[in-house]
Amino acid sequence: MGGLANAAVAFDNYRKSKRGVRAGRRMGRPRRKSERGARLSCRFTTGMIRVDADRRHVTLPRLGTIRTHENTRKLQRRLAAGTARILSATVTFARGRWFVSFQVEVIRDARTPARSDTVVGVDLGVKHLAVMADSTGTITYVPNPGHYDNALARLRRLSRRVSRRRGPDRRTGRTASRRWVKADAERNRVHHRVADLRTDALHKLTTAIRAQHVTVVVEDLNVAGMLANRRLARKVADAGFGQIRRQIEYKGEWAGGVTVKADRWYPSSKTCSDCGAVKAKLPLHVRVFNCEQCPLVMDRDANAARNLAALAAAVKTGTGVAGDQDAQASNPRGADRQTRATTRPRKRPGERAGGATPHQRTETGIFAEPKRSRSGDGMNLSG
């Protein structure tokens, strides 16, 4: 049943993409999974799906009762109290271990943030993972853990070790040596640990933000376009900007909070948080914002966070103060818009350079966020 449900979702997404009603990149026709590269997983939606009372075993259809490596007390308590209901179970092989993930419908108690009267603006960056400024004027800096950079030296050493071993070759049918398999597994463990550390840090950050504030203002960043920059791609990918915004949104729904997404072209870094003047240019290497209209001098990330915090009140009241989306910028040249790249058509035989057609404008890549599914609790099945 799990395969049929996935196929139905794939064809539905393909149909919506063809009609132009689905956001994101254009989806092609669904294809069969490759036996060689497909992820080993199986989803059960019917049959005996149970978490045993001893909190050490789970019962799945066709597989029977299996012992888990992790304790299942959190899920078993909710099931016994009647505040959770298992919808499906997915068994997956990843990172050299077998995992079972339960899709659970949970009844949660109403959560009330500690500071319900404040608004916080969250400015994401590479030097600091997040700079938060609330409506009271408090500015908080969250350092970037840089998990991948910390493990980069070890990954390079292990990658050189893998390259010196005899690896697999599908063209000649050569199989990998045992030494290559062992070295590749050791390198993969480092990658998996970096991914786990990043996931844990992002969840802790977003949970702390939602536990303190009701209204959170975040930026609609063009992550796909930022990844095209070869100088910043590794830093941006390690930070996980898209995950931060996604988690802030759905965790805000749990707590009954409000998430305000600033427009992608809103000049939060180039706007003065005191007088509202907008700079025409502010290069990335300039880390201090120096206003030319007033004596404000402060860190550019903190200035952007203050503008984002003030944007929530401006959107609600429409006062045009501190970045109202309906207000006109003070710069008539349109400093809040990035310069779009223009491309010239190639020179055709018998024509002059540039061709007879006008210059064609090309847009940067648009980041599309995947849809969120219901919460699931995963646990390790390996002993």
Instruction: Tell me the C-alpha distance between 250 and 253, whole Å.
Output: 5
263 belongs to the catalytic site: no
Residue 380 pLDDT: 59
Instruction: Tell me the C-alpha distance between 43 and 5, whole Å.
Output: 10
219 belongs to the catalytic site: yes
134, 184, 219, 377: the catalytic one is 219
pLDDT in tens, the chain (383 residues): 567 788 898 999 999 999 999 887 888 899 888 877 788 888 898 889 999 999 999 999 999 999 999 999 999 999 999 999 999 999 999 888 899 999 999 888 777 787 878 889 999 988 899 999 988 888 999 999 999 999 999 999 999 999 999 999 989 989 999 999 999 999 999 999 999 999 999 999 999 999 988 899 998 888 888 888 888 899 999 998 989 999 999 998 887 888 898 888 888 889 998 888 898 888 888 889 998 888 889 998 999 999 998 888 766 554 433 344 443 334 433 444 444 444 454 545 554 444 444 444 333 333 334 444 444 556 555 54
Residue 373 pLDDT: 44
Instruction: Tell me the C-alpha distance between 206 and 244, whole Å.
Output: 7
Residue 69 pLDDT: 93
301 belongs to the catalytic site: yes
Residue 118 pLDDT: 83
Residue 1 pLDDT: 57
Phi-psi region of 42 (alpha: psi -120 to 50; beta: other; left: phi over 0): beta
The residue type at 269: S
134, 238, 249, 301: the catalytic one is 301
Distance from chain centroid for Cα 338: 23
